[in-house]
Homo-oligomer: A and B are copies of this chain.
Amino acid sequence: MRSDPARIGDAVAAIDTPALVIDLDAFERNLQRMADFARERGMRLRPHAKMHKCAAVALRQIALGAVGVCVQKTGEAEAMAAGGVRDVYVSNQVVAPHKLARLARLARDVKLAIAVDSIVGVERLAQAVREAGSTVDVFIEVDVGQGRCGVAPAQAGALARQVVAHAGLRFAGLQAYHGSAQHFRGVSEREAAIRHAVDVVVAARAAITGSGIACPLVTGAGSGSFRFEATSGVYGELQPGSYAFGDADYARNEADPHAPRFEQALFVKAQVMSASLGHVVVDAGHKSHAIESGLPTLWQREDLLCSGANDEHAVVKPRAAGAPLPALGDTLWLVPGHCDPTVNLHDHLVGVRGGLEAGRVESVWRVDARGAVD
């Protein structure tokens, strides 16, 4: 845990660099827009906390109507519960018995759900909840097009029968998230991917109900595709994460005119620390902002581009040769390539009220589940 990069009441200029900064006004509008969207369509909203890893953010999402959060990891589930979240869904496979024991114990205190895609996973989970004397909701993950985890639809019936055979496991429905579709650039590409996902879900659901087992809920969707899941008539719960903060990669998606628009709310405040070679170098490299989905962009500096990043440096150049450059010591605001792994690099989220120019620090939130990879 590093020392705080800012104190409440500080002017924006006093925030240390590099620091992860949230424009609270934009952030709150984002939360409200997604909450409104879900409510108006009668959808349950369960935002993904793998993105923000921050209980303070989760509690704000829940205050606006979210039923709880998703997480991917055992340590994230524990961090969210410790921060006051009462309904946590591990939307990912966990097969290590000692982790399942931790989750089964956690299920004594909070409403807990987990995804499975194997008989081994179900059996180990059943043993853990038996030993803990707890009950968990179980979603069967079906591969809806990403080709990573999940079963084929025809296998869902057998796996559901396995789940309902155990007293401590409540079969809750289908986990049907198409991760790669979130970043398909065209709206029609994303729509087509989710149309395919819906076909897969319908087949998997038929395999389950054909076994005489009810399928209470289909859960999935992300910030790039949620409109299509929401209007599918099949999904009942949405799991978007990135909408709350935004990133440069999502900004490259063609905007969906029928979905709510979200504003960029996440920034890395950086400082020019070298200007000796005809470009400038800021003090925030890829230990401060993840670049696996592309280099950061520069907020409201259309005249500049980031041309490269190393561990502790990012190089910034003018788009037009000979155009003026920032000076040594100047602040630049980076929009990270990918929000989730960027947040995971930082211990704190500095919340600014009143804009990045004239605003003040209103909050310094801990990234509770930073590094919770277990």
Write the residues of chain A forming the contact surface with B, with a CB cutoff of 8 angstroms. 1-2, 5, 16-19, 50, 72-73, 75, 92-96, 98, 117-118, 120-121, 143, 147-152, 155, 179, 271-277, 281, 283-284, 286-288, 290-292, 310-313, 315, 328-329, 340-341, 344-347, 370-374
**Assembly CA distance A328 to B347 (angstroms):** 33
A312 contact set on B, CB distance < 8 A: 50, 72-73, 92, 373
Does A274 lie within 8 Å of B373, measured CB to CB?
Answer: no
Would you give the shortest CB distance from A223 to chain B, in whole angstroms? 14
Most buried by B among A120, A274, A284, A312: A274
Would you give the shortest CB distance from A13 to chain B, in whole angstroms? 11
The 5 A-B pairs of least Cβ separation, nearest first, read: A149-B274, A72-B312, A117-B276, A93-B273, A288-B373
Would you give the shortest CB distance from A219 to chain B, in whole angstroms? 17
Q: Residue on B with the closest CB to A309?
A: B292
Does A148 lie within 8 Å of B277, measured CB to CB?
Answer: yes
Q: Residue on B with the closest CB to A313?
A: B148
Q: Contacts A275-B118, A371-B346: A17 and B292 contacting too (C-beta < 8 A)?
A: no
Q: Contacts A143-B277, A277-B147, A373-B345: A311 and B288 contacting too (C-beta < 8 A)?
A: no
**Assembly CA distance A95 to B290 (angstroms):** 24
Would you give the shortest CB distance from A291 to chain B, in whole angstroms? 5
Does A372 lie within 8 Å of B328, measured CB to CB?
Answer: no
Q: Residue on B with the closest CB to A284?
A: B373
**Assembly CA distance A112 to B45 (angstroms):** 53
Does B148 lie within 8 Å of A310, measured CB to CB?
Answer: yes
**Could you list 12 A-B pairs, sorted by A, with CB under 8 Å?**
A1-B1, A2-B374, A18-B373, A18-B374, A72-B311, A93-B273, A95-B329, A117-B274, A149-B274, A155-B276, A283-B373, A347-B371
